[in-house]
Amino acid sequence: MKKTGKTIALILALMILTLYTSTGCGKTATAPEDEPEKRFIVDQVGRKVELPEKIERVATSHHFDTKLIYALGQEDKMTHKRISAKEGEAMERLDATYAALPDLEAPEYQKASAEALMVVKPQVVFSYAAFDTAEIEQYTNAGLTVVGVKGETLDDTYEAIQLMGDILDCKKQADDFETYVKEKVSTIEGRAKDVKDEGKPKVLFTGPKSIYTVATGDMFQSEMIEMAGGINVSKELKGRWCEVSPEQIVAWNPDYIFLGSSFGTGTVDDLLKDPALSTVNAIKNKNVFIFPSNIGWWNFPLPQSILGIMWIGKTVLPEKYEDIDMTEIADEYYNRAFGYSFTEMGGKL
pLDDT confidence of residue 197 = 87
| Mean pLDDT across the chain | 87
Q: Verify that 44 and 154 share a domain, yes or no.
A: yes
User: Does residue 93 lie within any of the structural domains?
Assistant: yes
**Which residues have C-beta within 8 Å of that of residue 215, sequence separation ≥ 6?**
205, 206, 221, 222, 232, 234, 241, 260
Residue 76 has pLDDT above 70, yes or no: yes
CB distance 315 to 257 below 8 Å: no
User: Does residue 88 lie within any of the structural domains?
Assistant: yes
pLDDT class of 77 with cuts at 50, 70, 90: very high
CATH number at residue 73: 3.40.50.1980
pLDDT confidence of residue 63 = 84
pLDDT confidence of residue 4 = 47
User: Does residue 26 lie within any of the structural domains?
Assistant: no
- Domain-ending residue, one of 167, 186, 205: 186
CA distance 32 to 49: 25
Residue 228 has pLDDT above 60, yes or no: yes
Planar angle of CA 56, 60, 63, nearest 5 degrees: 130
> Average pLDDT, stretch 165-170?
98
- Domain-ending residue, one of 186, 210, 240: 186
pLDDT digits (tens, 9 = 90+) for 295-344: 988 988 778 899 999 999 999 999 999 999 999 999 999 999 999 999 99
CA dihedral (11, 16, 17, 19) positive or negative: positive
> Average pLDDT, stretch 106-135?
86
Higher pLDDT, 254 or 189: 254
> Average pLDDT, stretch 33-39?
69
Higher pLDDT, 315 or 8: 315
Q: Verify that 224 and 323 share a domain, yes or no.
A: yes
Residue 198 has pLDDT above 90, yes or no: no
Q: Verify that 270 and 232 share a domain, yes or no.
A: yes
Q: Verify that 171 and 217 share a domain, yes or no.
A: no
Lowest-confidence pick of 12-26, 154-168, 290-304: 12-26
pLDDT digits (tens, 9 = 90+) for 233-264: 999 999 989 999 999 999 999 999 999 865 55
Host domain of residue 177: 38-186
- Domain-ending residue, one of 133, 157, 186: 186
Torsions phi, psi of 310, nearest 5? -60, -40
Q: Verify that 237 and 125 share a domain, yes or no.
A: no
Based on the structure, what is the number of domains in the chain?
2
CA distance 53 to 130: 26
Q: Verify that 128 and 212 share a domain, yes or no.
A: no
Q: Verify that 44 and 139 share a domain, yes or no.
A: yes
**Which residues have C-beta within 8 Å of that of residue 267, sequence separation ≥ 6?**
259, 290
